């Protein structure tokens, strides 16, 4: 199985954010940067590669194995990707189990583990902070376990973890 194309880089976060032409996305990116840094206690890193310039600002690191693979791959715990017209928030947990929080989040679209937000004023930031907290907590609990059991753990216990 091939290596991931998206990897941690030494690119400047400030330069990356300043390439965005939408001033609302730039300001929202700065706010998300401080929120995620505070929650994770990790320094942000730009993830990506020059061939596919969809860079992500990631916080923390975890490793996992792809289904059917033997090689450990590194990925960030949480992150976000600002583009000219939206923010993609990468939570890296299955959001299908988070209806209790997502129902109160506000205006967004979602994928399996990502939120697509036009601007932070469209959502409830307190709920987003809870989702980020919960994502980190689930990943930390899963890292204690055998990594191959992570998906079962998230499916079974994802909604039962309470943020205090």
Euclidean distance between CA atoms 93 and 79, whole angstroms: 12
Looking at residue 157, what is its pLDDT? 47
Backbone torsion region of residue 92, taken as left when φ is above 0, otherwise alpha when ψ lies between -120 and 50, otherwise beta: left
Percent of the chain exceeding pLDDT 90 equals: 51
pLDDT of residue 64: 62
What is the pTM assigned to this prediction? 0.80
pLDDT tens-digit readout, 51-85? 766 789 999 987 666 566 667 767 789 999 999 99
- Other beta carbons within 10 Å of 79: 25
Per-residue model confidence (pLDDT) at position 61: 85
Q: What is the pLDDT of residues 109-145, one digit of tens each?
A: 998 889 999 999 999 999 999 999 999 988 777 665 5
Q: What is the pLDDT of residues 9-47, one digit of tens each?
A: 888 999 999 999 999 999 999 999 999 999 999 999 998
113: left (phi over 0), alpha (psi -120 to 50) or beta: alpha
Mean pLDDT of the chain: 82
Q: Where are the domains of the chain?
A: 7-160
Residue 34 is predicted with a pLDDT of: 97
- Confidence band for 151, pLDDT divided at 50, 70 and 90: low
């Amino acid at each position: 199985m091939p290596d991931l194309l998206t990897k941690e880089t030494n690119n400047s976060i400030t330069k990356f954010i300043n390439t965005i032409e939408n001033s609302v996305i730039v300001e929202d990116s700065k706010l998300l940067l401080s929120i995620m840094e505070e929650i994770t206690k990790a320094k942000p890193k730009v993830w990506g590669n020059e061939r596919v310039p969809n860079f992500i600002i990631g916080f923390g690191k975890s490793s996992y194995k792809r289904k059917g693979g033997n090689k450990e791959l590194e990925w960030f715990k949480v992150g976000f990707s600002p583009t000219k017209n939206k923010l993609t928030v990468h939570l890296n947990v299955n959001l299908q189990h988070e209806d209790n929080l997502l129902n109160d989040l506000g205006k967004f679209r979602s994928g399996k583990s990502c939120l697509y937000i036009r601007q932070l004023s469209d959502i409830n930031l307190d709920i987003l902070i809870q989702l980020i907290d919960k994502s980190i907590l689930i990943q930390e609990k899963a890292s204690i376990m055998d990594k191959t059991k992570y998906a079962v753990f998230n499916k079974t216990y994802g909604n039962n973890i309470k943020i205090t």
